[in-house]
Amino acid sequence: MAEQAELARPETPTQKLQTVNPATGQPGRSYDPHSLEQSLEAAKAARGAFLDWRKTSFADRATVIRKAAEILRARKDEIARLMTEEMGKTLDDGRAEVKKCAFHCDWFADHAHEYLANVPADIGGGEAFVTFNPIGVVLAVMPWNFPFWQVFRAAAPALMAGNGMLLKHASNVPGCALAIEDVLRQAGVPKDLFRTLLMPSSEVEALIKDDNVAAVTLTGSVPAGRSVATAAGSVLKKCVLELGGADAYVVLEDADLEAAAKVAATARMVNGGQSCIAGKRFIVVHSIVEAFEKALVEAMRGYEMGDPATEGTRLGPMQSAKARDEIHKQVEGSVAKGAKLLLGGTVPDRAGAWYPATVLTDVRPGQPAHDEEVFGPVAAIIAAEDEADAIRIANASEFGLGSGVLTADLDRGRRIAAEELEAGMSFVNENVRSDPRTPFGGVKHSGYGRECGVFGIREFVNIKTVHVKPMGHGGGNSVE
């Protein structure tokens, strides 16, 4: 994933965090970072706050998290503008993101007590059950592309489970990071229980290894995931990793091509293509490739570049000029190795980090658009001989986050999605998305662990077996 939640950037504690408006290239606000000493003090304070918070009832926690949802909805316009200024998200997408965060908070406020209720067990005598206890302070290392959703996706269930959280956000969205802390503080989250740390990525390892931090969750690139997993593993701490994706959509010969193209374009253009679960590879049975090409180009034309601060804009800038240049390099490299450019593929002559909706076909192994994650508005069409070949191509990737099947035969689509595609999520005839009600995460180099739903909230709890038996009823089985 091109989302930058890295561990080894050459930042220094005294270097200000300077924001840049991606639409104009002009500097915005700058922020003073926290020192390592301040971060470690925050971890200690968070641990202290957790010891009190863990004793609160689900009802008390829910009151706070529901209040956060209310505040998010009330401040959605302000927050959306902040995301637009710092990372270029369109105003419409920003508002939708804030609303999703609010729904997520309400969902876990309503359902955490069910997800973490004791589960009875029968082990042949006495009373036995499984209970779920909070484990402590979770360090969240988060990316810029969904600057509120990625954080609330982790924070709402963690706080409802009774944990504390420290946020190390991407360095280009410090205003968003501080606004999240402000929302939670305003909602009634205790002062030290959730803290935003404007710290250099090079110091994350020290925080992971601090005794006051119990676990870590990261959304970011594969290299960042390896670094976090190595640091956490060295001190035997739990981690959840949501990493890159090269989501494949299998387009079968019986698909309604106009409808399939609309789903594909929607999947590819989520957040301007800057999403780990954006559709990136469209694997099309050869008999319909030409027709699908025409339909997809037409659907992608609808995503015209425009001012992200203007309502109705469908494609804003990329998050930075550097990121845009990397996307263009991948497109040029693919064309140089035989891919055919059907739409876009040129850098506009204007200030800012702009890149147009782009479609490539004749995409094959050895080309960046085939082998790498392209983190921008570039759709890659790959031809397959038949269903089996399409599934083979889809699975021949280091990634396994999301996947899709486009077909008129729902039984066929259900079988392929459930049994054939190697991914953490697979959607039939719609684009992959996250939802608080269902688990979110991947396999292979897309990471491990889950967020959302009952499986997500149970990642950062102690799943404890309890057995109760009256005295004088003899011992148990001595065999381990």
Residue type, 480: E
Catalytic residues: 242, 276
Give the pairing type, strands 17-20 and 443-444.
unpaired
How far is CA 371 from each of CA 103, 363, 366, rounded to the nearest angstrom? 36, 10, 6
Q: Which of 407, 366, 369 minimizes the C-alpha distance to 390?
A: 407
Residue reference for tokens 């601090």: 210
Q: At what angle do helices 76-87 and 174-187 cross, to 10 degrees?
A: 160
Query: Is 130 in contact with 463 (CB distance < 8 Å)?
Result: yes
Question: How many residues does this entry show for the chain?
Answer: 480
CB count, 10 Å around CB of 186?
A: 14
Sorted by sequence, the CB contacts under 8 Å of residue 379 that are 6+ apart come out as 264, 265, 268, 279, 280, 282, 296, 300, 357, 358, 359, 360
Rounded Cα distance, 5 and 144, in Å: 8
With CA atoms as reference, report the closest residue to 404 among 302, 241, 294, 284: 284
Residue 63 to residues 58, 104, 331, Cα–Cα distance (Å): 9, 14, 49
